[in-house]
Amino acid sequence: MKHIYTDLAIESKEIYHEETKKEIEGVSVDVLEGKNHTITTVKVLNDRGSSLIGRPQGSFITIEVPNLNKSDEDLKDEISIELSKVLLSLIKDYKRDKVLVIGLGNWNISSDALGPKVIERVLVTRHIFINYDKESDESMVNVAAMSPGVLGITGIETYDIVKGIVDKIKPDLVIAIDALSSRRMDRVSTTIQITDVGITPGSGVGNDRQGLNKESLGVPIISLGIPTVVNAATLVNDTMDLIIGSLKNEADVGKEFYSLLDQLSTEDKYSLIEEVLNPYMANVIVTPKDINVLIDDLSIIVANGINIALHPGIGIRDVNRYIR
């Protein structure tokens, strides 16, 4: 499992189950089926669960919407509302008079531009609170938002920028948005993950930076992301699994060929794939051809969900009318 690039806890759980055929100690899973979506809550309860699936202790909530990448306006509104409910379920126990929203990613690369695109649509109110010398308001929260860019653009680590802003404006809560990586193409742009454990920018494509979490920033952080890419080796690995499964169905049980296929471990398959691809496709990631349009649509859904969750006086009609 350590080789397979994915930012989704639900996929880490699936990979462990595929490899061991066992339930995961120290991890609870709850599934709620909706008409157009499925919400899966994976909770890593202790160190044992954390070590088995490689995720820190905390909650990972995944909203899977098969038609999200071709949704109409009604579905967009429905998922924005569901997202706002999930966010509220995670932030309800935190003080949130002041919130900082961070859009991680590179605005020059379509598949990595989700965070900056969301920031363009977040309802920012901090300047209003400052100008009117307000501490609180019934209908809105004091919200600041920014996109720190990436090291290759700014020359500054994302963590250093975010930490500097947190120390300066002292928010009660940070919400971070980032593009993620999946192991399966059918989850790309159809899945939203929300978690209370923070985020490590670039982790899904093997480019780990300094993590953004409560320990490093000094304030609680909720991270939210949508997978927009699949690592090429991971995609080939899953394709090979499908091929092997089909061939095993055709082979006679007990025959040499069947035994060879059955004994090929996940580690062996992935190592072989990386070795074959490396001279030609090193560090290649795959993204949908219409990613520009998808990112625009997904950023509206995410921004609307955040705006509704943070501002008590705002509903879906308000964000659709005024925030575009």
- In a shared domain, residues 294 and 276: no
Mean pLDDT of the chain: 87
Instruction: Tell whether 277 is covered by a domain.
Output: yes
Beta-carbon-side half-sphere exposure of residue 92 (alpha carbons within 13 Å): 7
Question: By C-alpha distance, which of 58, 7, 18 is closest to 245?
Answer: 18
* Residue 254 pLDDT: 54
Within a domain: residue 102? yes
3-state secondary structure of 181: strand
Q: What is the 3-class SS of 41-106, one letter each residue?
A: EEEECCHHHHHHHCCCCEEEEEEECCCHHHCCHHHHHHHHHHHHHHHHHHHCCCCCCEEEEEEECC
pLDDT, tens digit, for every residue of 45-73?
Answer: 999 999 999 899 999 999 999 999 888 99
Model confidence band, residue 2 (pLDDT cutoffs 50, 70, 90): very low
The CA-based angle 204-207-208, given to 5 degrees, is 85
Q: Are residues 140 and 242 in the same domain?
A: no
Query: Could you tell me the pTM of the whole model?
Result: 0.87
Do 239 and 295 fall into the same domain?
A: no
Burial of 179 (C-beta count, 10 Å sphere; 0-12/13-18/19+): buried
For residue 298, tell me if it sits in a domain: yes
How many structural domains compose the chain? 2
Q: Are residues 187 and 265 in the same domain?
A: no
Express as a percent the part of the chain with pLDDT over 90.
Answer: 63
Amino acid in the structure at residue 243: I
Residues 47 and 97 in one domain: yes
> Average pLDDT, stretch 151-177?
95
Does residue 277 share a domain with residue 170? no
Q: Render pLDDT for 244-283 as a digit per residue (tens, 0 to 9).
A: 667 666 666 556 665 665 666 666 666 666 666 666 555 6
Boundaries of domain holding 253: 234-281
Q: Please give the single-letter amino acid code of residue 265.
A: S
Q: Report the C-alpha gap between 177 and 194 in whole angstroms.
A: 9
**Within a domain: 246:** yes
Measure the CA–CA gap between 306 and 123, rounded to whole angstroms: 9
